Structure 1
């Protein structure tokens, strides 16, 4: 859908082709399009926005324009610029190829709608308020990274007359918390005058600043580097495949205690109600087993919610949950309890022959004789 629409078109020929959003490389880490410091979560947020049905498609961006978000109908098809910006004079102009951000309220309320338009106001006006120059900027594709992570660095540089800065490369100085400096080279992007790009792999923890040479009058960008245990963050396990195997074999996949407890992945029972993490003592669990049973796996759901809440509290303290003895103990107990609960209940099969029946007959006779003897001894008859 492109161009102006008419009244008859809006009334009788509504657009029915959905357009979905995809972040560009420049959009990752850009303050205008960043809703979460985790790049994967940020990409997922944009992908899950409700589709738009009216996007300007008959437009081409200028070489020095930086696209932040693309729109598409076919994952393998053409991309159309949906959000982009360009330096103009002393300021910045933001382009939006759609006017349907109100649709975000349907699924997420005001969470992203207000956040986005607040970012637009800051993106356009904060530089003027702080007296920063629009001549040059350095953008990172993430705000937080782990040691050894790939960080994409993009520089948008203008001359003093705000024309694109043309050069084969430009240097950026990386400064750590101790003041140690290291120069890296950003190479020019082909057919994109004024844009320079490179990749950087941080080697130590702490805060890093990326600064252009002083002649460009640019504020430095900051990156927070953390030491991340990969096996606890992204193990590469294909959970859908494991769940499919477990369903066919009547098994179970223990992945719930690896997820943070939050409203988006809260544990729900069969009726859709959120199960709250309630820790029970031994007597409460015994009482529940005797009189309450384990209807719909309620006890297991409470254990899962409890584990997620524990892991969230440990994560807030920036500790590894798998080094916490209480978490490991509770997770192990959950695994053993789940195995016991899901163990198939097989009928007891006993083979008996003639001698077994004869032995039971003799035992019955002995019991009757003993009863008769006691009755005679105590004069019960």
Structure 2
């Protein structure tokens, strides 16, 4: 209720009952009921099909408090309502969304979503809030996106292409295939077909291996009527290790001298074996120290007696 009279009050997609500032509570758990819009919304999709999704929502652990919502505001979309509570405007809206200029607003009228982890850990809780974050972060200009990794690819290194294909409302773009045309610096053309990764958010992925260094022109098209999306990938020259360069025996000899070792050439394999066999294995030695006659013990005893004498004398006991 504190947001009603704040600058954010105009963004609320619902009208709240100011005569009930603490909301409504009950010892008996209540549940959500998806609206027709909520049954088909990706925001509330917790199962693969609509019927299974409705069963999941009805079976989620219930909530025991909900906000005093009177009705949804004009232009808002109600995704879920209270399964029982209602008023003169209909059943109480609990999950409501609306657009606010360039942004979006999500209202959830309960605080019991954390209970969804009971028995299934993060299966539904993580999926729901993950979809909320993606829905919130989505902007119209993000309806097409092509990303690649690694960010600085090299020759003969596998480059993974990831594409997001969404419509103006942020829903997945249904396309038979997503084709990517890769033009090498030499002009050679390679067509890469991106396969659908996740049906939920229009994600496609594929890969190719560049054989040349330079700038690769990448053009993505989804469907015959889609507008091409282009980007540039710079492939770096591979750093090939030099082979056939002779070793520097003087440097190796200096290293062997410093480490108290020996340097052998390829023709001195037998001498190296004999040197290894000649290395004696150090035997363990036991050294006994008589503590009762050790000078350190005498110093410690004298120090403690001196400290005892000094403390007593300072205290006036001597």
* TM-score (normalised: structure 2): 0.37
Greater share of residues in helix:
1
Q: Kindly name which structure, 1 or 2, has the bigger radius of gyration based on alpha carbons.
A: 2
Greater share of residues in strand:
2
* TM-score (normalised: structure 1): 0.31
